[in-house]
Amino acid sequence: MRNAKQTAARRTRHPAASAAAGAVGRAGERAASALAAVTAKRCLDLALGSALLLLAAPALILAALALAVRTRGVTGVLRCEARVGIGGRPFELRSLRTRRLRLDLLSRLPHVVRGELSLVGPAPLTPDEAALLGPSAGYWRHGLRPGLTGLAQVRARSGMPWDEPALLDAHYTEHHGTRLDLAILAQSAAIPLRAALHRLRHPGKAHLSDTDHRLPGYSVAE
């Protein structure tokens, strides 16, 4: 009789236990998927970021020496700016004070290797810009490192109304992945090459450049 009651009790608890186990399993799968995506992104940052830094190091050293000679040490060769990183943690963004050959952008590669920036991500915000977003609007940024380049940098010049920088940053955060990162990196490399070819074909014409690597008029309040 006791065995029959125990069997009935186990049968009664079985659906609830199965549902709980299923929920735990699904949560574990989602966590594993998110961890795998973060790990793949970080591995890409470390591998490609380190390779690019090694390749760019001679040009960066020469540029730093030229800036030191030209400024005579008055202003320094680096521009230091406060930015908000992953998890809302602040860090100091350092860039060379030059716009030639995008060396200002390449000089930020040490931040990628250290983990303060990613190769691709939302634009790095100043503390004031992050405060304007507030916790409810800016929470989606906290899970990703800001990027050396991003979807907003390669798409927002299209002029389309849906290609606003803030919308593109939000879209990237929702849909980011290795394939999208590689596509953005390829397009980011193609943009300065096209600009260089244009200058060769049309010498003497002015061209736009932004040391912050964000579009003129970029505003998180839009």
Identify residue 132 by its one-letter amino acid code: L
pLDDT in single tens digits along all 222 residues of the chain: 555 555 544 444 455 555 555 555 565 565 555 556 568 899 999 999 999 999 999 999 999 999 888 887 677 889 999 999 988 889 999 999 888 778 899 999 999 999 999 999 998 889 998 888 777 666 777 788 999 999 888 886 656 666 688 888 888 888 888 999 999 999 888 877 776 676 677 766 544 444 445 554 555 544
Whole-number pLDDT of residue 3: 55
Alpha carbons 181 and 120: distance in angstroms, whole number: 6
- What token pair was written down for 101? 């050959």
pLDDT digits over 135-154, tens only?
A: 766 677 778 899 999 988 88
Q: Are strands 118-120 and 147-149 parallel, antiparallel or unpaired?
A: parallel
- What token pair was written down for 190? 């193609």
* Distances in whole angstroms, Cα of residue 153 to Cα of each of 52, 66, 86: 19, 28, 19
Q: Across the chain, what does the average pLDDT equal?
A: 77
Dihedral sign for Cα atoms in the order 208, 110, 115, 175: positive
Counting Cα atoms < 13 Å in the Cβ hemisphere of 61 gives 6
Query: What DSSP character marks residue 140?
Result: G
- What token pair was written down for 127? 């503390």
Alpha carbons 196 and 222: distance in angstroms, whole number: 32
Whole-number pLDDT of residue 160: 61
Among 110, 113, 94, CA closest to 46: 113
